[in-house]
């Protein structure tokens, strides 16, 4: 049993990660500030689920930009491992609200990294993103490809995280592991992402906005597969300092194929409104996962044909039973 500090536990990936670790018998302290980037009721519901289901879950609700509060949590919980998932996500949002990224993705990241060093944690695992590959033309994207030309501020902060973590690994011997997630989806997902927006509008009979005539490809990765990769990154013995892994599904799906799968799952036809490609959006993502397979035993096995209907089923339940704001 390990003592694991997971940040962003009211968020999509953090919620599922905490659940898997608690199911395995680990002791988890979760922290999240429940900001209003998207419906805080959804974040609150995730924290409530964790608190109700697991007596051993320690739930903390504060902003990691508050260094003293974060330091107090490290001192009282004394984590063996840290899994830092809290961040301001969103490529497009970083074009309109860049300052949101300064605090959560740079200051808070550095706070958790520094405290992980001060407390001598065994490993610091953190979320990076496929967006660091920018407009990379070489497919699939490999960890050895150049990542020096991000095309969004969000991507620039994620690449900065990798550089900060790598510096701590070299300077102080901190064992850091970065995970480049590729478009994660599934139950309890994020309302700002395409799968949620498409499902919501298709079910309501409203048009959906499809960029670049739908001529885009994404490596959609099911949440349970991602969490298996995160757990392996926390537990696999003898990972070198400053390791970085792609966690993707190793299938690059056409956006119109995703829409067709949602249409089948909802039993409704989409009304598509086409718009030009958005700034910051890469045309294609596609993960080379050889490194993660070799070192972490990472083997994703959920296709969008299996995963999307699970999301749609969860979404229908959520909309029906969603708690009303206090
Ligand atoms: N979901 C994806 O497809 C995807 C892809 C690539 C990378 N990522 C990265 O994975 C991580 C988790 O993403 P997610 O999809 O679960 O997003 P999410 O927004 O659902 O979860 C992030 C959580 O962090 C919390 N948070 C943000 N700033 C904070 C702060 N300063 N202090 C405390 N809590 C704070 C938010 O309230 C939120 O609940 C993020 O680092 C994100 O950038 C996600």
- The pLDDT confidence band at residue 323, using thresholds 50, 70 and 90, is confident
Q: Is the CB of 219 under 6 A from ligand 1?
A: no
Q: Is the CB of 10 under 6 A from ligand 1?
A: yes
pLDDT at 326 over 70: no
Q: Is the CB of 87 under 6 A from ligand 1?
A: yes
Domains and CATH numbers, the chain: 3-186+221-250+288-300 (3.40.50.720)
Query: From the CA of 18, how far away is ligand 1's center (Å)?
Result: 14
- Among residues of the chain, what percentage have pLDDT more than 90? 96
pLDDT at 325 over 90: no
The set of long-range contacts for 198-204, using a CB threshold of 8 Å and a minimum separation of 24, is: 198/258, 198/259, 198/262, 198/270, 199/262, 199/266, 199/311, 199/312, 199/315, 200/315, 201/270, 202/262, 202/263, 202/266, 202/268, 202/269, 202/270, 203/266, 203/268, 203/315, 203/316
Q: Is the CB of 179 under 6 A from ligand 1?
A: no
- Active site (annotated) includes residue 154: yes
pLDDT at 247 over 70: yes
Average pLDDT estimate for 72-88: 98
Per residue in 175-218, pLDDT tens?
A: 999 999 999 999 999 999 999 999 999 999 999 999 999 999 99
- The number of C-alpha atoms within 13 Å of 61 and in the hemisphere containing its C-beta is 11
From 11, 115, 224, mutation site for ligand 1 pocket: most ligand atoms within 8 A of C-beta: 11
Atom in ligand 1 nearest the alpha carbon of residue 190: 20
From 43, 87, 129, 150, mutation site for ligand 1 pocket: most ligand atoms within 8 A of C-beta: 87
More confident residue, 319 or 279: 319
pTM equals 0.98
């Amino acid at each position: 049993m390990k003592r694991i500090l997971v940040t962003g536990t009211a968020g999509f990936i953090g919620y599922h990660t905490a659940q898997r670790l608690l199911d395995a018998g680990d002791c988890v302290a979760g922290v999240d500030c429940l900001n209003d980037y998207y419906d805080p009721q959804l974040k609150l519901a995730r924290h409530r689920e964790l608190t109700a289901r697991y007596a051993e879950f320690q739930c903390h609700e504060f902003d990691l930009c508050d260094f003293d509060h974060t330091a107090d949590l490290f001192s009282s919980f004394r984590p063996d491992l840290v899994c830092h998932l809290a961040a301001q996500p969103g490529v497009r949002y970083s074009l309109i609200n860049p300052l949101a990224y300064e605090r959560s993705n740079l200051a808070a990241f550095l706070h958790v990294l520094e405290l992980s060093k001060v407390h001598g944690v065994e490993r610091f695992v953190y979320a990076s993103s496929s967006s660091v590959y920018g407009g990379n033309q070489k497919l699939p994207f490999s960890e050895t490809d150049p990542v020096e030309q991000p095309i969004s501020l969000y991507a620039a902060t994620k690449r900065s995280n990798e550089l900060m973590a790598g510096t701590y690994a070299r300077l102080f011997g901190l064992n850091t592991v970065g995970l480049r997630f590729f478009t994660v989806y599934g139950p309890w997902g994020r309302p700002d992402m395409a799968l949620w927006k498409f499902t919501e509008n298709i079910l309501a009979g409203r048009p959906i906005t499809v960029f670049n005539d739908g001529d885009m490809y994404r490596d959609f990765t099911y949440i349970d597969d991602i969490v298996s990769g995160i757990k392996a990154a926390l537990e696999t013995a003898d990972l070198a300092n400053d390791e970085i892994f792609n966690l993707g599904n190793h299938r690059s799906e056409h956006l119109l194929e995703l829409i067709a799968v949602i249409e089948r799952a909802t039993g409704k036809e989409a009304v598509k409104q086409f718009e030009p490609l958005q700034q910051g959006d890469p045309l294609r993502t596609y993960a080379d996962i050889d490194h993660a397979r070799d070192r972490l035993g990472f083997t994703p096995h959920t296709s969008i044909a299996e995963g999307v209907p699970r999301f749609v089923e969860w979404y229908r339940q959520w909309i029906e039973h969603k708690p009303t704001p206090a």
